[in-house]
Structure 1
Amino acid sequence: MSSGNQGLRRTLVVYAFALACVSTLVVGIVLVTRDETLTAGSVLSAIGLNLIASVVFAAIFTLLSTRVQERSLEQALGEQLQDFSARFNSELARANESFLPTDVYPPLDPVEGYGDKFNVDMTRSLGRTDFYAFRGPSARYVAARLRESQRIPQQVKVAMLRPGDRRSIARRASDRRFWARSRGKTPETLEAEVYDELVMSVISLFDYRHICPVDLLYTEDTAVYRFEMFDDAVYVSWFHGPQSSGREMPESMRFSANSFHYKTLRLDLIRRFEISTNKVTFDASQDDEFLMSHLTELIGKQVIAEDLSRWRQRYNAYVGDFVGYLRGVGGQA
Structure 2
Amino acid sequence: MTAISETADVTTRPDYPEAGADTASPRLIKQVRERADRTFRLVSSTGGVIVLAIMCLVGIFLTVNAVQAIAAVGPVEFLTTQEWSPETNHFGIAAVLTGTVLIALVALVVALPLSLGTSLFITEVARGGFQRTLVSIVDLMAAVPSVVYGLWGLAFLQNNVIGFAKWLSTWFGWIPIFAVDGADPANPLPNNALYGSSTFIAGLVVALMIVPIMTSMMRESFSRAPIGEREGAYALGATRWGMIRSVVLPFGKGGVIGGTMLGLGRALGETIAIYLIISPIFAINFHILQKGSNSVAALIALRYGESNGFTMSALMAAGLALFILTMIVNFTASTIIGRSRSGAESEA
Shared topology, TM-score over 0.5?
no
Between structure 1 and structure 2, the one with the greater Rg is 1
Higher relative contact order, structure no. (Cα contacts within 8 Å, ≥ 6 residues apart): 2
Determine which structure has the larger strand proportion and give its number. 1
TM-score by length of 1: 0.19
TM-score by length of 2: 0.18
Determine which structure has the larger helix proportion and give its number. 2
